[in-house]
Amino acid sequence: MKSAITWMQKTAAAVAIAGFGLSGAYAQDAKPSGEPIKVGILHSLSGTMAISETTLKDAMLMLIDEQNKKGGVLGRPLEAVVVDPASDWPLFAEKARELISQDGVSVVFGCWTSVSRKSVLPVFKELDSILFYPVQYEGEESERNVFYTGAAPNQQAIPAVDYLMNEGVERWVLEGTDYVYPRTTNKILEAYLKSKGVAPEDIKVNYTPFGFSDWQTEVSSIKEFGSAGKKTAVVSTVNGDANVPFYKELGNQGIKATDIPVVAFSVGEEELAGIDTAPLVGHLAAWNYFQSVDTPENEDFIEKWRAFIKDDNRVTNDPMEAHYIGFNMWVKAVEKAGTTDPDAVIDALPGIEQANLTGGVSQMLPNHHITKPVLIGEITDDGQFDVVSETEDLVPGDAWSDFLPESKKLKADWVELKCGNYDTEAKKCLGDTAETSN
């Protein structure tokens, strides 16, 4: 894995960015004019994923509104084009094609599940457009036309397991929704746990469908697995609205964090907003941002968000921050390139820096992933998170896992190698043939 970015580097970068913001192209207040630059928003506003994705649509509308108040981009106004792929994975590809070919968007911000991202990849490659993907995912991918602002496994899943190991956990339930992200993430976690000496019989893996609601049997099985005399934890990659009945059933069966802690990778403030969190206090989530982070940047973001949405009770979450970072990186890259031409913007993005909301500065890497802090938070009774662990430095996202033999030898570098899956042993780019068992 790549070395972390030091605090001194972060601070220096923050000073440089602050200075540029005062005198550079981004300190604009003139009213934008001319032909609008269209920005595509590809998030489910209906179906099982609407619980998570609707907020991301709203966040993008806020970011676009804020940028227009600053003078737009290249002096031109931004115009949001919103579509609803309705939690229908093939429809994501259709809507992506519609945004690029018919609506003429210059960039798309969207997708949540990895299966939706996989669905649209061929479209973005064929039409040579740009997708910013804001959600934690399984890694094992680096595409020229995609910029991954959510966490790779080494920025979420691995640190979460390390935290639980340090807390004495010896037995593991890997509970996920049945699709690519949980299956590949759990494949990585199984390999990692075994490399740390965990016996196969101390690892239980289970999958349920999207929208699953009848959790009684599954939660009973977790409870039984945790009764073997070893400290047990659940690593949850359950996604979408299935989380609501899952957490309710945990409470119904009296599974407390002191007995079997659950660490979730897809549950944040938005998902907890519809749940009675009292029985869930102490359970965990691993993200790169929490609303409870106390920084001036975050305070300003929350204030603007609530003013825009006209609701003082609306929460923020990690994928919103990822869109905040990605959107501002795209703006800077367009200004740097002097054009919205996708090829020029793609080439301009690596190396672009943007202050995140936790007090550091994230950078777009040559592998099209970014540097991020890793935070572990405990659920509190008000539906927020108390941060109990945070990395000292920003962690660079790894496109390919060091814990899978077929991936360990691969490197993604779109700057020097011009390749997303360069085989460091064979010394050649594998092109589109390097597909691990996703």
| 284: in domain | no
| Cα 419 to Cα 236: distance, rounded to the nearest angstrom | 32
Which residue from 307, 297, 236 is spatially nearest to 266, judged by alpha carbons?
A: 236
Tally Cβ neighbours within 10 Å of residue 60.
Answer: 26
| 115-152 pLDDT, tens digit each | 999 999 999 999 999 999 999 999 999 999 999 999 99
pLDDT of residue 17: 40
Assess if residue 59 is contained within a domain. Answer: yes
Contact 343, 349 (CB under 8 A): no
Residue 158 belongs to some domain of the structure: no
Mean pLDDT of 241-266: 92
Domain that holds residue 86: 7-152+294-372
Closest CA to 82 of 118, 119, 45: 45
| Assigned domain for 40 exists | yes
Domain assignment present for residue 399? The answer is no
Task: Say what the pLDDT of residue 432 is.
Answer: 56
Q: What is the pLDDT of residues 305-345, one digit of tens each?
A: 999 999 999 999 999 999 999 999 999 999 999 999 999 99
Does residue 194 sit within a domain? no
Domain count for the chain, please give it: 1
Q: Is the pLDDT assigned to residue 434 strictly greater than 60? A: no
> Is the pTM higher than 0.85?
yes
**Is the pLDDT score of 13 beyond 90?**
no
Q: What CATH code is carried by the domain that includes residue 108?
A: 3.40.50.2300
What span, in angstroms and rounded, lies between the C-alpha atoms of 206 and 237?
10
Rg (CA), the chain: 21
Q: At what angle do helices 50-69 and 296-309 cross, to 10 degrees?
A: 100
Residue 4: CB atoms within 10 A of its CB come to 17
Helices first, then strands: H and E counts in the chain:
13, 19
Is residue 360 a part of any domain in this protein?
Answer: yes
Q: Is the pLDDT of residue 235 over 70?
A: yes
CB atoms within 10 A of CB 20: 14
pLDDT, residue 275, reads 77
Is residue 217 a part of any domain in this protein? no
